[in-house]
A = this chain, B = another copy of it.
Amino acid sequence: MENKLDITKNKFSVIDSVELVTSYLENYQNNKIFKYLDDIHNADIAELLQNLDPVLRLSLLNIIRDRFDPEILTYLNDSLRDEIVETLDIKQLASNAKQLDIDDAVDLVEDLEKEDQNTFLENLEEEERNLIEQGLNYPEDSAGRLMQRKFVSIDQWWNVGQAIDYLRGNKKKLPEDFYDIYLIDKDRKVEGVVPLGRLMGSKRNVKLSSLKNKELRAIEINTDQEEVAYQFSKYGLVSAPVIDEQKKILGSITVDDVVDVIEEEREEDILKLGGVGHTDIYNSVVDTTKSRISWLIVNLMTAVVASIVIGLFEAAIEKVVALAILMPIVASMGANAGTQTLTVAVRALAVKELTTSNALKIITKETLIGGINGIIFAVIISLVSIYWFQDFMLGVIIGLAMVLNLILAGFAGTIIPLALEKMKIDPALASAVILTTITDVFGFLSFLGLATLFLI
């Protein structure tokens, strides 16, 4: 058997793929399309669909709809997935879903609209339907949703030979891929995990219990997926048994699903810090506009608040127009320094490096750093301002405002995410807007306020 695709010589390139399929479509070479799609991974088909011209995408979908593998949907972005599901026949999709892992099926079904969900489930075989419905009963983003229902559990008192014979005799019941076997007692309670590699290297008469990992790292069914990812990443797990409150085994989570979770969670953090919700570049113009508008409204309100603060000092600005020219610098530096601190703090919270046990130390440190940077930039901006406007006092005032605002930025940049975390609000989501409001308002207030006191 030859390798169909050898990535070392013939790595999948989405640009080549789009070009090739476009030419097949334009020349009505359907057989070539089928052959080509057969040769590439479903993840590559998903990438191809995402990059095809929308009209060609529709033609391609019409050609392959009868044999469309639902697994492709699990690799697609949410918005394109919705769009593609709408063009497919749900009944047909369900009958093509026999090969689908239960965790992937749950992932697929949970995002379908209610009506489509019912059609899909009705057209599955009973066993599969029951498993999927069970999966849907677990809380969203929990270990229960993430887990595989096929796994290998073996009596803890067996030896290596018995285990191998059992696996050979039950080939059909085995999951497509597995890396560990779970040892259970007579009540199906998990007692240990044996990595396959260790099993393979041992003689037939060796007891399984002597091969098990020193520590048993089982996941409770209701654990949040973020915590699951944290455990996998921290301890370098490849799979872990999922258990109920009585320690009875219910399923298995494998690392490939966890990798998806890690990417998802990190992306969410990046998007939230950037003031965008759950979104991707395939969303429609209307959906995207809607999703962005709420943060822009918040930002408009905070900007108006800052303007109101400036408005308080109308008289001062009228007398010394240099104040209007210089004031954005203080605000901008505060926002920038604060965002630096904030980013580090949000990340440290996410990876559990920032905890209540070291919070005070970190707050002190960041405030101190704010002060040091404040002094450095105060000197620079003072000199610039004195030279620019030939006004010594103006330079002193902007320098003072700079120090104060950068100290506040360091303090607020740490305390805001900590406070939000305490209040069970996602720090990645709201920290930035609160911070820049504070540094803007205080930047204008301190600079214009000091100017009113000492300059006018």
Contact = CB atoms under 8 A, between A and B. Distances in A.
A355 interface: yes
A280 interface: yes
* Copies of this chain, count: 2
Interface string A347-373: 110011111111000100100110011
Contacts of A270: 266, 269-270, 273, 343, 346-347
B292 A337 contact: yes
B280 A369 contact: no
A162 interface: no
Closest 8 CB pairs of A and B: A274-B343, A324-B324, A236-B256, A266-B266, A178-B197, A196-B196, A303-B329, A303-B332
The A contact surface, by secondary structure, is helix
A233 B339 CA distance: 30
A331 B310 CA distance: 15
Interface residues of A, number: 141
Interface of A: 1, 3-8, 14-15, 18, 41, 43, 47, 50-51, 75, 77, 152, 164, 167-168, 170-171, 174-179, 191-192, 195-203, 209-210, 212, 214-218, 220, 231-238, 243, 247, 255-256, 258-260, 262-263, 266-267, 269-271, 273-276, 279-282, 285, 288-289, 292-293, 295-296, 299-300, 302-304, 306-307, 310-311, 314, 317-318, 321, 323-329, 331-333, 336-337, 339-340, 342-348, 351-358, 362, 365, 368-369, 372-373, 376-377, 380-381, 384, 440, 444
A350 to B, nearest CB: 9
Contact of A209 (B1, B164, B192, B353): B1
Contact of A300 (B214, B218, B333): B333
B336 A201 contact: no
